[in-house]
Amino acid sequence: MPGLLISQSCSDQVHLIVGSSALSLSRISRSLDCGASVVLIAPQPSTPLSNSTTWNAELQAKLSQFSKLTWLDREFDFQDLTTLGRTEVDKVVDIVFVTLPSSSPLRSKISERCKRLRIPVNVADSPTLSTFTLLSTHMDGPLQFGVTTSGTGCRLASRIRRELASTLPRDISKACEKVGKLKQIIEQEDAIDDAENAVYDEVGHNDDDAVQTHKFNELVIEEDSSIDKKRKQRMRWLSQIVEYYPLSQLSSISIDDLSSQYRHNTQFVINESNTNKNGVISLVGSGPGAPGLLTTAALSAITTADLVLADKLVPAGVLDLIPRHVETFIAKKFPGNAEAAQKELLEMGLTALRLGKNVVRLKQGDPYIFGRGAEEFIFFSKHGFKPVMIPGITSALSGPLLSAISPTHREVADQVLICTGTGRKGAAPVIPEFVESRTTIFLMALHRLRDVVGWLKDAGWRVDLPCAIVERASCPDQRVIRSTLEHIPEAFEVLGSRPPGILVVGNSCAVIESPSAGEKWCIEEGCSLF
């Protein structure tokens, strides 16, 4: 499979095209577009091809339009490979395209010779004779992208390329140009002595990946030299704009708008670095999983943070929204080390706060629903950092909603209880009494579902009570299993688990949807949000 490794500079190269098919005309255009000089070697089509007149006319039009195009009206000679190129590379041509008909014995011979001379060669419709394939490319000013389906179909690649291009705002190339200009302004304003600049260029300018590395699980405390900090802040600001402005706005924003925000922001940063201001901590709820269910307050918190300390349950879709340059630590909380991991996380937060950082503690769902949010509130407050609290949509209530269960429903359910299936240190929890008109939502219960259901039965809950398991609520792979208390453990054992999930029990579970008569359970896959 060809590797999509490089985009090559073709300007001033010499590309040789051998053959007089319609394909050679399109090869000519592509090479000229990339800035290469093109030599076409093809005798005038002698047989009166049905389309030879058009071919000639099109070629003549190109010849009069492009001075970099030469046509040699003759047969190919192997010497052409080493005599028509640039002087600085000893006249070896840079790339060869063979568009001769598949019956031509020259195809494999040219390919062989090119391979020996290490000239990249492409023979039409022959991956084995070619050393490279062509991409279906999109070019719009400075923006270019190429699609390959690795030889499985160039028509498909072209269709995919068109579809991708159609999703971009029309003036995306302007956005690229504007961002480039802004980078220049930052470079000019931040011009410092050569040595430092060299380092800066190495890490910050030439390679977009370098400036936006997403360093998971690695707390890196920045050097606090003010000039260094200022530069990092400026690059950070630019990265944020590029990362978070909707593309459509980015392309319509003026360079002046960007510059004034840039100055405003820089001013703010410099002032801040001159004070001994303490850090800020926010305890932020991330919602059940779908990025769309983050609140705008949560989104703003994670996009402006210096450090994000995330629960491991926070799904990738949400983590993807954290700018790459923001340090992100995902709690390594596993059964058995929860306390140690929690302590480690809190200590990290505290260290960063003392360095004046803006810390976000990102928690699944809502921070105060089985999230140890209050413990953390007390911890940070005691150390002098009172957290800003940002609520999240809890899985306890969004799970039922996304699975067609209304926890309250007139004449069916008039109260809702959220509780846990796991007591402290894994012991049995206090089992709530059975109330006919209540919907009970159990979190952290599925790994011991049979036990939980057993305890409920012991406490007098009816076995024919409708219930549902909602797993990965709001995620594309959400799954709902509807059943009764009697059959739900069996269903879950047969189907296997897809954590995290909740158990919802009560008459409300059968109001909108329920298994058909005679069915012990039914399953629904997917989430209406997707």
| Interface pick for ligand SAH out of 110, 147, 345, 502 (rule CB under 6 A) | 502
Question: Shortest Cβ distance from residue 144 to ligand SAH (Å)?
Answer: 39
Nearer to ligand SAH, 172 or 503 (CB): 503
Nearer to ligand SAH, 114 or 480 (CB): 480
Question: Shortest Cβ distance from residue 354 to ligand SAH (Å)?
Answer: 27
Nearer to ligand SAH, 157 or 284 (CB): 284
With beta carbons less than 8 A apart as the criterion, state whether 413 and 507 touch. yes
Site for ligand SAH in 347-406 (CB under 6 A): 364-366, 369-371, 394-396, 399
> Is position 71 an interface residue for ligand SAH (rule: CB under 6 A)?
no
Which single residue brings its beta carbon nearest to ligand SAH? 365
Nearer to ligand SAH, 39 or 475 (CB): 475
| Interface pick for ligand SAH out of 500, 504, 505, 509 (rule CB under 6 A) | 500
Cα–Cα distance for residue pair 190/233, rounded to 1 Å:
11
Site for ligand SAH in 433-462 (CB under 6 A): 443-444
Question: Shortest Cβ distance from residue 480 to ligand SAH (Å)?
Answer: 10
N-to-C CA span, the chain: 33
> Is position 279 an interface residue for ligand SAH (rule: CB under 6 A)?
no
Peptide bond into 367 cis (omega under 30): no
Question: Shortest Cβ distance from residue 319 to ligand SAH (Å)?
Answer: 14
Question: Shortest Cβ distance from residue 367 to ligand SAH (Å)?
Answer: 7
Nearer to ligand SAH, 99 or 282 (CB): 282
| Interface pick for ligand SAH out of 172, 250, 322, 470 (rule CB under 6 A) | 470
Nearer to ligand SAH, 147 or 469 (CB): 469
Cα–Cα distance for residue pair 427/19, rounded to 1 Å:
80
Nearer to ligand SAH, 38 or 301 (CB): 301
Cα–Cα distance for residue pair 309/286, rounded to 1 Å:
12
Angle, vertex CA 177, rays to CA 176 and CA 182, nearest 5: 100
Angle, vertex CA 204, rays to CA 199 and CA 208, nearest 5: 145
Nearer to ligand SAH, 345 or 444 (CB): 444
Long-range CB pairs of 241-248, under 8 A, 24+ apart, other chains included:
241/179, 241/182, 242/179, 243/212, 243/303, 243/323, 243/324, 244/303, 244/323, 247/168, 247/169, 247/172, 247/175, 248/169
Nearer to ligand SAH, 307 or 369 (CB): 369
Q: What are the E-state strand segments in 19-107?
A: 37-41, 69-72, 95-98
Q: What is the DSSP letter of 387?
A: P
> Is position 501 an interface residue for ligand SAH (rule: CB under 6 A)?
yes
Token pair of 8 as six digits: 């090559």
Site size toward ligand SAH (CB under 6 A) is: 23
Cα–Cα distance for residue pair 489/62, rounded to 1 Å:
74
Q: What is the DSSP letter of 431?
A: P
Question: What burial class does residue 297 get, using C-beta atoms within 10 Å of its C-beta: 0-12 exposed, 13-18 middle, 19+ buried?
Answer: middle
Kindly write out the interface string for residues 288-307 of this chain, putting x where it contacts ligand SAH by CB under 6 A and - elsewhere.
xx------------------
Question: Shortest Cβ distance from residue 407 to ligand SAH (Å)?
Answer: 14
With beta carbons less than 8 A apart as the criterion, state whether 390 and 280 touch. no
Please state, in angstroms and as integers, the Cα–Cα distance from residue 57 to each residue in 37, 44, 53, 54, following that order: 20, 12, 6, 5
Query: Interface residues with ligand SAH (CB under 6 A)?
Result: 288-289, 313, 364-366, 369-371, 394-396, 399, 443-444, 470-474, 500-502
